[in-house]
Chains A and B, each alone.
Chain A
Amino acid sequence: MTTAVWLEAAQTLIQPSVIFFLFAGVFIGTMIGAMPGLSATMGIAIMTPITFWFSPVNGFAMLMGLWNAAIFSGGIAAILINTPGTPASITQSFDGYALYKQGKGGLALGVNVIFSAMGGLISTLCLILFAGPIAKFTIKFGPTEYFMLALFGLSMMIAVSGGNVLKGLVIGAMGILLSCIGLDPILSVKRFTMGQTSLLSGISFIPVMIGMFGIGEVLYQIYNRNKAQEEKEQKERKVNLQLGKVLPSGKEMASITPRCIVSALAATVIGAIPAAGGDIASIICWGNAKKVSKHPEEYGKGSVEGLAISSSANNGVIGGAMTTMMTLGIPGDSVTAILIGSLTMYGMQPGIKMFTEHASFTAQIMLLMLLANIVFLVFGLLTVKASAKVLNVAQPTVWAAVSVLCVVGAYALNNNFFDVIVMLIAAVLGFLFKVYKFPTGPFILGLLLGGMLESNMRRALVMSHGSYMTFISRPVSCVLLVLIVITFLSPLIKMVVIKKKPKASIEDSV
């Protein structure tokens, strides 16, 4: 991408409407992230049908603002009530809440804002630097390579299944099987459509996401409601501890910053791995930082450094996840899974075309991500003390609004009532998955990548006239195949690694 493209993109962004939607996104994102139970994924799933009616720039301004801000503000709830507002902020509650109880709540909130923004900015810079070259590398990719990529993405199911690989595989296979519904991608044969015209193009993905992360999540929260716990939290909120100063001193900044840069870079790489999201990144970064820290004993007991590491790690994931999504069309995490859907609806497809034909839009997205970080940095620091108020919203208030908005959103997407039914079924499924502790990540991966897997495998065979050797004889495909085999063998290796890490927290967060 040339300088001219960047300049043009920057010019497009200086429009009142774009700035307005970016701010709106950051504001909504901060609210959603701060409220426990409303995850960034849920926010994006509910807002996508709305943004769909904007122009692509406005739509992505809102989504990028929302996503970046929601991940940062997930830390607010983690710090103030020891409950991560979004799964990615799990490790922030380890140190943040301890700091708050020591009367350094303000500092904790300030560190959260500053280092979240730093993590986000660093990883977005990585995206800007590396996405272009990676995309260029994919020009030569044919169906054979895309089949292997999809398979590689799916093999990551094992990585995201947390403690239970078997359940991850089960649910992933179910996702792939459901992706077979509709017209078959090569011969246009109807499959499992039960005479429904609406099923011809397959199960629509975004309604599934809305159902699973929206109403499904609400149902689980209703089921899991613990009034005693709620009252306890309410009381804790009323204690009104001193927040104290907000900004860390220059000395503190200087000692923490280098480590956070490393953690942001590591998180970018983890984010780029399909389906490994902010929760996994922050746990890994926090755990490793503890090992190399000069004061490992402070970790988990109110270490500013630990909190800063977690903050930069979970926002650092965003750039990495976007890199995989935009260059390869494979979701880096559940949010990017939805973003693929909204790109498609805007008539764009992830891949090399994003860097040639739609280069200016891609540049706009990247600049929007940078801007989103700057906006929430300013917004977050200004509202540090006010942000605690969001936590006073009662759960049922959120539940009712989410239920209605999910129905409206699922319908508005295509003006099709059938999508609402799909959403409702996905909601019930999502609830059951949660109750029986099936990870949802592999299901989403299977549903999204199943089509890519099948169509490219059969397309590759059309081109090779039926010879399976094509998967081994092409170099990139062969390398990927080796990686896949390693991944499938990795649970054994992983068992050893996980034993050293806080295992329970990984399981909870997936």
Chain B
Amino acid sequence: MKRFLTLAFVIITAFAVISCSKTDNSRVSSGSKGAAVDFPAGRQVTIVVPYSAGGASDMTARIFASELEKSLGTKILVTNVTGASGAVGLEKVRSSKPDGYTIGYMPVESTMLRALGFTDLSTDDYRFIARAMTIPAAITVKADSPWNTFDDFIAYAKENPGDIQVGNSGTGSIWQIAAVTVEKKTGVSFTHVPFDGAAPAVAALLGGNIQAVAVSPSEVKNSVDSGDLKVLAVLGEERSSVVPDVETATEMGVDVVIQGWGGFAVPKGTPENVVKILEEAAKTAINTDAMKKMLASKGFEHSYLSGEEMDNKAAAELKYFSELIPSLGIVQN
């Protein structure tokens, strides 16, 4: 009996504490509403990364956070909320309070998830504050393969439809879309082999099980350096700093630009002046040397875009992917 009295006592105390902290919270929020320009007002800002710690996206977000901490003048916490190609983390950002205290790391997948039918969210639900980097797709083959140029490769594919097996990092991934876009623009056909991520696809290419991969240059860099693989074309806006000698597809007269990117956004409905403050701070943070150095070391292209430019760009990509993805025949709703 005595024990249960103790427990009852503890629970009552607990509820007392809850009610106290509740009133505490409301006081803070009402205060900040009155003076929204007073952002961040010393409060902690959280950056949600939809991928696990230690990965390239996570590192980008963490360096960004430490630079943003300086330019924004407040403590920033990075948390990883992972799962479902990033959908779980992005969902968390979307459903957070649009007050600027929750920023999401936005990968290119944020424009694709809805078309893929994984979730109903899209970049329309967010306001970008900046784009930090891009990472182009590239067509890579074995060094001893008969194709020495992108034209050779396409010419062979045209004569032998379905013969070339192109590995990608999974059905519905940006790298599969890259290969499909090449197919569409040049009128050839490949056999697409989806792997669980880029690394196994590259391993299968090294083992001679497939003939090409459509992944980023940084993911094949080691094997290119060791002389096992060669990059035929880069599918970016500009040449890749990882393989600067390789021409882009656009330079070769094939109009294909597919690249991954990473940016930062807040949920739609965030007050305009808060977004402005964040945009300014993000611009300073992204253009620091530390950020540039880190991006280069990971094989990413440093490529700043302001929030508004990025909003437009994302909207255009969203439209393109929403048309393209259903035609891939992978999603049947």
Contact = CB atoms under 8 A, between A and B. Distances in A.
A353 B54 contact: no
By DSSP majority rule, is chain B's interface helix, strand, loop, or mixed?
loop
Contacts of B330: 187-189
A346 B54 contact: yes
A200 B194 contact: no
Interface string B180-193: 00000000000111
A198 B88 contact: yes
A183 B196 CA distance: 11
B203 A351 contact: yes
A187 B171 contact: yes
Interface in B235-286: none
B34 interface: no
Contacts of A204: 83
A459 interface: yes
Interface in B180-216: 191-197, 199-200, 203-204, 206-210
Contacts of B172: 188
A414 interface: yes
B209 to A, nearest CB: 3
Interface stretch (A93-101, A135-143, A249-257, A264-272): A135-143
A142 B200 CA distance: 10
Contacts of A349: 197, 199-200
A201 B83 contact: yes
Contacts of A185: 170, 194, 196
A3 interface: no
B146 interface: no
B119 interface: yes
B54 A200 contact: no
Contact of A415 (B79, B165, B194, B203): B79
A463 B210 contact: yes
Contacts of A418: 83
A352 B205 CA distance: 13
Contacts of A140: 207-209
Interface residues of A, number: 40
A20 interface: no
Contacts of B91: 197
Contacts, number: 108
Q: How large is the interface on B (under 10, 10 to 19, 20 to 34, 35 or more residues)?
A: 35 or more
B66 interface: no
A240 B163 CA distance: 76
Contact of A198 (B53, B80, B84, B165): B84
Contacts of B74: none
A368 B54 CA distance: 21
A415 B53 CA distance: 11
A201 B196 CA distance: 11
A139 B79 contact: no
A230 B71 CA distance: 62
Contacts of A451: 196
A462 B191 contact: yes
Contact of A353 (B52, B85, B195, B199): B199
Contact of B118 (A197, A353, A416): A197
B85 A200 contact: yes
A230 B331 CA distance: 59
Contacts of B55: 347
A347 B82 CA distance: 13
A201 B197 CA distance: 13
Interface string B281-295: 000000000000000
Contacts of A465: 162, 191
B87 interface: yes
A319 to B, nearest CB: 24
Contact of B207 (A139, A187, A198, A347): A139
Contacts of A352: 203, 206
Interface string A186-220: 11111000000111110010000000000000000
Nearest to B332: A189
A463 B79 contact: no
A206 to B, nearest CB: 11
Contact of A197 (B53, B87, B193, B194): B87
B80 A415 contact: yes
A6 interface: no
Given A188-B171, A197-B91, A415-B80, A345 B54 contact: yes
B207 A141 contact: yes
A347 B54 contact: yes
A415 B81 contact: yes
Nearest to B228: A356
Given A197-B118, A459-B194, A463-B165, A416 B82 contact: yes
A52 interface: yes
B87 A200 contact: yes
B81 A414 contact: yes
Contacts of B118: 183, 190, 197, 200
Contacts of B195: 459
A465 B190 CA distance: 12
A231 interface: no
A357 B222 contact: yes
B65 interface: no
B73 interface: no
Contacts of A415: 79-82
A468 interface: no
Nearest to B197: A349
Contacts of B87: 197, 200
A286 B206 CA distance: 44
Interface string A47-84: 00000110010000000000000000000000000000
A356 B208 CA distance: 17
B318 interface: no
Nearest to A452: B196
Given A352-B203, A459-B194, A201 B84 contact: yes
A455 interface: yes
A455 B201 CA distance: 13
Given A143-B204, A349-B197, A197 B81 contact: no
Interface string A84-96: 0000000000000
27 contacts: A140-B209, A141-B207, A188-B172, A188-B330, A189-B330, A190-B117, A197-B84, A197-B88, A198-B84, A200-B84, A200-B85, A201-B84, A345-B53, A345-B54, A346-B54, A349-B200, A353-B203, A356-B222, A414-B52, A414-B88, A415-B80, A416-B81, A416-B88, A459-B195, A462-B191, A463-B191, A463-B210
Interface of B: 52-55, 79-85, 87-88, 91, 116-119, 162, 165, 170-172, 191-197, 199-200, 203-204, 206-210, 222, 330-332
Please name the 7 residue pairs, one residue from A and one from B, whose CB atoms are nearest each other, closest first: A200-B84, A142-B209, A188-B171, A188-B172, A414-B82, A201-B84, A140-B207
Given A53-B53, A186-B194, A347-B52, 13 more contacts: A52-B53, A139-B206, A185-B196, A347-B55, A349-B199, A352-B203, A353-B199, A414-B80, A414-B81, A414-B82, A415-B79, A416-B81, A462-B192
